[in-house]
Structure 1
Amino acid sequence: MRCRPAPPAFAALDLGTNNCRLLVGAPSGDGFRVLDSFSRIVRLGEGLHHTGRLSPCAMDRAIVALHGCAARLARRPVRAVRAIATEACRRAANGAEFLARAQSETGLHIDVISTREEAELALESCAPLLRDGGRRALLFDIGGGSTELAWVRLPDGDEAPQLIGYVSLPVGVVTVAERFGAAGHTPQGFRAMVEDVASRLRPFEQVHCIGQEIRHGGVRLLGTSGTVTTLAGIVLDLPRYSRPAVDGAVLSRADADAALACLRALGREGLAQHPCIGPERAEFVLPGCAIFAAIHRTWPAPEVVVADRGLREGMLLRMIRAERARAQRPRRPTAAPLAGMPRPA
């Protein structure tokens, strides 16, 4: 009995301001089955806010992680690989130089994507969580160097959600942590972080009047980032982080506010020791909470949908769809030879 060939594998790599993440998946139903994943905190954007450049130590950490990704890809045949970089490489004066070095040393070609594509990829990955969710959705992605907001029209049928407007704000957990430092752990400093972010959200609100739409009902607030997944872990009282428990969880406004208060009360030591956080992420938790608090204050939706998915998942879905479209495309028939012309041997 002949064995069926394994489905093709696809790989997506996301080099962000704080993390380097790889995801390998094979098509399965409307989505994919995860074959391999890798995530490492590299802090590529460390010091970028002050110098405008990627530091040698930060670049070296990222190169080590990229070598690890390249080694994993070498062990598994993949049909296609997409590798992207986001805010740190967009902003850094030596971003292009670093990516050229990364390709030379690891063989990985990494594209710097636009802020719009970043919002579109996040929306693509989170679209299944927005089905039967109302008229509109506000998706936010709190990253290391930036925060993306996508204002989305939700269709009645099986059509894909439509992007009405988007914005990328230059505030992420790393940039806010570097700007406010230890002061961000004080009550006054936390309030200052929230107000700083809230002031940046107001122009987007003035254009789209999202608050008014929320008051009328039918608007979903969806967050995809380490910040909102951590809040979900607190609300669910998880002994350790669990993606299946968190992805798709719905937090009430009261529960989200209580989780914020809990994290703020832990202090630095408590954050480092918490099983859903750990020492590597401890200094970025409160800056992320401040960004979330500003979003939640500006757009007080009654619930927040939590997504543990993002750019990598969006890239995989795009590659799988493109592969299926190529397979379904009819082949052009070979032209018959003209009468009296000899057929090729």
Structure 2
Amino acid sequence: MFAELSRLQSAAAVQAAIDEFVRLGRATFLARYGYGKSRDFLVRDARSGQLCDSKAIVGAAFGYQFPQEGPLKPSDFSGGEATVVAKLQRLGFEVVRIGEDWGVDEVRATVASYFEMLELEAAQKHYTKTEFNAQLRQQLRGRSKGSVELKHQNISAVLHGLGLPFIAGYKPRSNAQLLLRQTVQRFVLDHPELMVQVVNALEEVKTPAEQSFQAVVVEPPSMETVVQLSSRDVKPRLPRRIDWAQRDEGNRTLGRAGEQWVIGYEQRRLNDAGRPELFQQLDWVSDRLGDGAGYDILSHDEPGEPRYIEVKTTNGGHGSSFVISRNELEFAAEMEEAFYLYRVFQFRQTPRLYILRGKLVDQLHLEPLDYRASFRRLLA
């Protein structure tokens, strides 16, 4: 209730709640007081620069000012700009709208640092993320190491959304501020030679050093819900020559190498299952007949139990997008549980694999890329 919230008048109580937040960590603090993550506003700790969930801080601060009454519950008051934000600002605290607090110069410096690391990674040159982080923070306004890492994850998310490679160590994390999205897109458009160099380097086919096929299978990426662009927003039209997903699909040399690797994986899988004789029935269909069958390799689980395998290979990371044909989607739906998509990633370094089984339309977000044009109109 607002009447209760209006009684909070102690800046020291707010700071005590912030200190507890920093000491315990976000997850533990929120669980302790029963709050969820803030959707819109965070309050900054002036001492450490860390951002804290605004409503949870206010609720906990009430308990510090009135220990005999204890902290406020989330249902006791409403959050937002007119209540929590106004209260914190009147008490002298900086409140930040999520994702919109970094300035132009900070964002530009962060994006430039990220792409410098991406270029080194593509060239397989050694670098240390911690050192880059420390050097970058010297150009920023008191940002913490964690906040810089989050910004790098946001950049990965923007690149992933554009179908471009990103730094494997920075898992894409959405909710990037508009300024950051615009700056990343502008960097890509202004540096086509660099992007071509990165993509070409990551597409280079090398024989993987790891050939044991042990501990290579991982879980597929989780489905991420993102905000759809308004029809009024202009989607950047990147040059086709730096369309990462399309280039991976078109590079048959990389695709063929990935299929050869999967054949080795299948041999190991069948041997481990005690059915080495089934490997003698393995058929590399795409090599023998070419593309178009809806799958690349025919293997088996048991005699009479086929495993139709479609292989998608990339030198990119776990969450890299890929191109799949309408024919492959239809074949997956037709074969149901007998269809397997093997997604091989990090192929140039140490190959890893995740497997999707059955109908793909239920497991992937599918975006149309091309259309067949003709002068024939189909009647319903």
Q: Which has the higher strand share?
A: 1
TM-score normalised to structure 2 length: 0.24
Greater relative contact order (CA < 8 Å, ≥ 6 in sequence): 1
